[in-house]
Amino acid sequence: MEVKVFAEVQLPQQRVYSSGVCFPLVLAPNPSSHVPYSFSEAIRAHNPWLQSRLHDAGAILFRGFSVKTASDFNDVVEAFGFDEAPYVGGAALRSNVVGRVFTANESPPDQKIPFHHEMAHVPEFPSKLFFFCEVEPGSGGETPIVLSHIVYERMKERHPDFVQQLEEHGLIYTRILGEDDDPSSPIGRGWKSTFLTKDKTIAEERAAKLGMKLEWLDDGVKTVMGPIQAIKIDQSRNRKVWFNTMVATYTAWGDARNDPVKSVIFGDGNPLPARIIYDCQKILEEECVAIPWQKGDILLLDNWAVLHSRRSFDPPRRILASLCK
């Protein structure tokens, strides 16, 4: 039945692993199908099969379906039936577009966003991410993805002592937030947007629920998160994953308020070795898949399995996102 609606296609950028799994799985409308389903109806009709394929592959790219607007994208997200995940504690600037749909990170186009698991620096994070290409980039602007367990395995092989320290101590993330948003920064959310309130008391309550400490400053607040696990066990797949934002924080979480090198340290307070951080960055690039966006594309990621990033681009480019529990 699924084959009648969805056709599995191959793209040159995909990786095929020894298990036979294609990463990502790419699904398109089956040209021989005469089933009178809309895309959203097809998702609802075949949801268990789609979720099984997502579990196997870690990521699905839907290409060629009739998804043209933010509202269409919202319908697709709703069709999967996942609960919405609130963006409390996240660092990126995002604007609500419609329903459960937000802009992706609004940092300037010349800035790369390094690999990370979404909201891995806080204990409550989404399990699924959707991205939708409303406007194709002029050039560049891919959203590279990489399987997290592959990164863990390569890092353990090359830097076993470092990985052992991460597993024992975890990481501490520190960030200084202004009161208001800073659109020039890749981590430009002010504390009001971060905690979805203008009330400091409510902000403290919401931070406490995340296990985050706040230190109020004259013109903002210092947030301290951790120690928090940097390597987790993906219980559904029974494997360890590189579940952190270490490389992104260390190499890119800098602005007028924040020194990225000081923004992430071992959970015991010791600094991270720059050489190993940049070697991890190299591994991430070596293992990633970057498929150029086409208008109407929807990329569904399992946040437990996959890290993602963003390459710099020439405008225009409009990628929308939705985060799910």
Task: Report whether 321 contacts 74 (CB < 8 A).
Answer: no
Average pLDDT score, the chain: 94
Q: What's the pLDDT at 94? A: 73
> What is the rounded CA–CA span in Å between residue 271 and residue 246?
12
Residue at 100: amino acid letter:
R
> What is the rounded CA–CA span in Å between residue 185 and residue 91?
10
Q: What's the pLDDT at 152? A: 98
Q: Are strands 313-314 and 101-103 parallel, antiparallel or unpaired?
A: unpaired
Q: Does this model's pTM top 0.85?
A: yes
Q: Residue 1 — very low, low, confident or very high, per pLDDT cuts 50/70/90?
A: very low
As a three-state string, the secondary structure of 211-254 is CEEEEEECCEEEEEEEEECCCEEECCCCEEECCCCHHHHHHHCC
pLDDT at 82 over 60: yes
Burial label, 19 (beta-carbon count in 10 A; 0-12, 13-18, 19+): exposed
pLDDT at 198 over 80: yes
pLDDT at 27 over 60: yes
pLDDT in tens, 239-268: 999 999 999 999 998 899 999 999 999 999
Q: Residue 35 — very low, low, confident or very high, per pLDDT cuts 50/70/90?
A: low
Radius of gyration, alpha carbons of the chain: 20
Mean pLDDT calculated for residue range 197-207: 96
The string of DSSP codes covering 159-222 is: -HHHHHHHHHH-EEEEEEEESS--TTSTT---HHHHTT-S-HHHHHHHHHHTTEEEEEETTEEE
Q: Residue 2 — very low, low, confident or very high, per pLDDT cuts 50/70/90?
A: very low
Q: What's the pLDDT at 253? A: 86
Q: What's the pLDDT at 244? A: 97
pLDDT in tens, 120-129: 999 999 999 9
Q: What's the pLDDT at 87? A: 77
Q: What's the pLDDT at 222? A: 98
Residue at 224: amino acid letter:
V
Q: What's the pLDDT at 184? A: 86
Q: Residue 3 — very low, low, confident or very high, per pLDDT cuts 50/70/90?
A: low
